[in-house]
Structure 1
Amino acid sequence: MSSKEKPTLGGTRIKTRKRNIAVPLDTGTFADAVVQIYNEHSGDLELIAKDVDASELDFSRYGETFFEVVFTGGRNQPGTTKPEEGERHPYSVLNCDDTRESILPIVLFLQKIIRRRPFMIKTLENVMKRLLQSLELYGPEDRTKLAIFTALTFSQKLSGLPPETIFSALMSDTLISKGIVLHFVTDTFKVYLVENSLDDLVSLLKRAKMDDRLLDLFPMQKRSIEGFAEHFNKEGLGVLVEYNTKKVFEVKLKELRTTMTDQIAENVNVNEVIEMVKAKRKEATLPDVDVVRTIWDAIMDAVQWSGKNQQQNSNLALRQVKQWGKLLGAFCTTARLEMDLMYKIQIHCYEDAKLMKLFPEIIRALYDQDVLAEDTILNWFKKGTNPKGRQTFVKGLEPFVKWLEEAEEEE
């Protein structure tokens, strides 16, 4: 049988490398091969990326070793920061300056490597988790470098690294009690906010399921709203303080709404409900405008709606307003709060078809109970700025407004 020559592309020159990395057969030789590439190019990440791509390194088997070399310059003894035997290079994350400018190129380098090998994102996740769980083993400067790297992985959207896994690695009682976690996340937030907005950070925290747990990052003795504000204001992260304050208010208001809804549904004496709300407002220093809005929501929540019977629903809602108007009146104590209540009712009636035609009667009922003053109603009627259903509601309120104006003229 005659042998056939292998086909070749005419005119194509096949380039050969001047040297070849021997295919590693264990973690030690794999690490040495990667270190060799780093050292040969003196840390030039562009050239290192090209050589890594051209090599026959088995990243599916030795991916974790690769990331150890990226972070520390070589292999570490398991559970320590002590170097394992073998070559090392001086261009790792932990050998950089603790600045964003020094670490960003490494993140971008890894982005290139992982884009060509998407399976490695899980490996990076595992290595980062292990590093963060071992933060106690590193000094303050190295912890800052790891925080910067963590922030940049999310800022640069490093191939979908899951924030929940990374942040969950920090939830160690030991690390939290020593203040290590608090300082780590503070550095992380600072770097992340260089290129991203507070909304971006909030979105990241929600994906990490940490938006409701920020206080849990504080040592127990500092775990308070005041301690939170003092720490992050001092670190120049006042926007985070504002967000957390609002978040705490939302939780307190939700609790207040639930308690009020239950008491109203159980027909508890209105004076008892008023005292309960006053106590909750004082305890959590809740803004008056939010308290008034929450009272309205609770009154409506407690209505036992009757299926599709529109007239019956209207009667039930109106009866509820008349019965609990005193509760609104106890906290709606200024013209500004009265106007805000009118806007709240306007939006609610606009968004709930059951109440669309009931707006004028609700306003009349609250006027009769001295919750809404004549001046407030006339001001809303003439100068109200919220457009939701306004034309319909103004038309419906015309007879009552006309009556108010005629009564005023007679006086």
Structure 2
Amino acid sequence: MSGKAPLPSLTGHRLKTRKRDEKKQYDPLGFRDAIFEGLSETKGDLEAVFRYLDSAGSKLDYRRYGVNLIEVLIAGGLLAPGGIIVTDGDPPHKTETCLFECCTPGDLEGLKAFDQVFIQLMRRYKYLEKMHEEEMNKILVSLKGFSHDERTVLAQITALWLASGQIPATLLPILINEHQVKDGTALEFLLEVLSTLKSEKGGTAVINVIKKSGMESSLMDFFPAHNQQQTKENFAKTFSARDLPEVVSFKKQQEEQQRRLKVQRQLKVAITEEKPSKEIVDILIKNSIPESDSVVMIWSCVMSAIEWSKKEDLLQDQALRHIRRHVPLFEAFSSNSRSELVLLNKIQEFCYDNMNFLKIFNKIILLLYKTDVLSEDVILKWYRESHSQRGWSVFMDQMKKFIEWLEKAEEESDDDEDDD
């Protein structure tokens, strides 16, 4: 009986790992030492620094050690949590060819020269951009590990990086943590960043960075909560002292916007619950909202207070009944031509944005004319020169006959005055 030949045994034989499957040991200290050796030969010449880093990229595996490279370029060595230089391995543990050693506070030309190393290196190795961002995430929570001058230099180059888009503004909120806020480190850093940014790119750039960072409502969180430091007066004093009045104005605008949103929520509840008109009017008067803003708020709240019919033939009657019910509110805040014109343009925008209302725009305007909310002079001015361009051709055609009637009435009125 013939059986299958037995499989050969591998006992006693050493399996050899394919070269492509071999994993190199992670060795940040070895990478650091190799970088130090190369940087020492550049003698602090920044062009030579870039040439060396450019040529060493593939050999030293930046894809694996890119974060360590950023640490060396900024702080001069590998960083442990808290911003402390790692002292493991043989010395030296720090190089003088780094941001903190090559640059001094206020020397923006020196900073820009060093920044060119970052710019050119990241153009050459695009993947370092993400690693740069990751490392800044760690560094910005470790500011207390650096000296005052080092923090100042870091803040100033951070401003340059924000201005050029090398790092995103969304990194800035990470500065807000208890141990950095408590002793003023976070606030001091932010002020230096924004002050440098303003000197380089102007006040508009400062506000744009604040908006992009998402810190609009958390700027006060940079101030310690103790000793009554979180006050409007202290905020204004602190930012004004650093020549940042635009931040103070921006903060006031944000607060006013939040206040108005709160008023608008109150208004919507009152309208939805069909409170008396006087009570609704009092909400706006009590909160000192200007008339032209009040009438826009009322329109928005009135038109969002009910669920509209999806059937076009029913919508017109529903809309006109609903608006007529709230005419006293519109009347209360359209006592001058400016408020009337603002309301008219708001209605135009609303009808354009809500296509179901597009065909009844002229019916709404006619209703508000007949109820003395809108005057003929304002309607004519709107038609002739002060309308929005959005959907204008549609609204112009709709209003044509009504405008012709108003113009004819205007001419007859002028003729009567001449006869007198």
TM-score scaled to structure 2, two decimals? Answer: 0.77
Look up the SS of the partner of 1:133 in the other structure: coil
Look up the SS of the partner of 1:267 in the other structure: coil
Paired residues of 2:376 and 2:406 also in contact (CA < 8 A): no
2:175 maps to 1:167: no
| The one of 358, 361, 370 aligned to 2:360 | 358
| The one of 330, 336, 344 aligned to 1:334 | 336
Of the two, which has the highest radius of gyration?
2
Alignment of 1:264-283 (within 5 A): 264-279=271-286, 281-282=287-288
| The one of 287, 291, 295 aligned to 1:292 | 295
2:108 maps to 1:107: no
Shift of 1:198: 6.1
Shift of 1:145: 1.2
Shift of 1:73: 2.2
Distance 1:272 1:174, change over 3 A: farther
Paired residues of 1:24 and 1:33 also in contact (CA < 8 A): no
| 1:167-201, Cα deviation, whole Å (9 max, x unpaired) | 24212023223332222222222333455466665
Distance 1:44 1:337, change over 3 A: same
Shift of 1:348: 2.5
Distance in 2 (alpha carbons) for counterparts of 1:177 and 1:191: 23
Distance in 2 (alpha carbons) for counterparts of 1:410 and 1:163: 66
Give the structure 2 partner of residue 35 of structure 1. Answer: 36
Alignment of 1:5-404 (within 5 A): 26-55=27-56, 56-76=59-79, 78-81=81-84, 84=87, 85-95=91-101, 96-99=103-106, 100-158=108-166, 161-164=167-170, 166-196=171-201, 204-220=209-225, 221-224=228-231, 227-279=234-286, 281-282=287-288, 286-309=289-312, 311-388=313-390, 389=392, 391-392=396-397, 394-398=399-403, 399-400=405-406, 402-403=408-409
| 1:363-394, Cα deviation, whole Å (9 max, x unpaired) | 34334444334543444345435444263354
Distance in 1 (alpha carbons) for counterparts of 2:372 and 2:161: 58
Q: What is the count of residue pairs matched by the alignment?
A: 381
TM-score scaled to structure 1, two decimals? Answer: 0.78
Q: Is there any run of 5+ residues in structure 2 with no aligned partner, and where?
A: 1-23
Paired residues of 1:151 and 1:192 also in contact (CA < 8 A): yes
Distance 1:278 1:203, change over 3 A: same
Aligned amino acid, residue 182 of structure 2: S
Q: Is there any run of 5+ residues in structure 1 with no aligned partner, and where?
A: 1-22
Distance 1:222 1:319, change over 3 A: farther
Look up the SS of the partner of 2:172 in the other structure: helix
Paired residues of 2:83 and 2:146 also in contact (CA < 8 A): no
Aligned amino acid, residue 42 of structure 2: H
Give the structure 1 partner of residue 15 of structure 2. Answer: none
Distance 1:392 1:156, change over 3 A: same
Q: CA RMSD in A?
A: 3.3
Distance in 2 (alpha carbons) for counterparts of 1:393 and 1:201: 45
Paired residues of 1:28 and 1:86 also in contact (CA < 8 A): no
Distance in 2 (alpha carbons) for counterparts of 1:124 and 1:338: 54
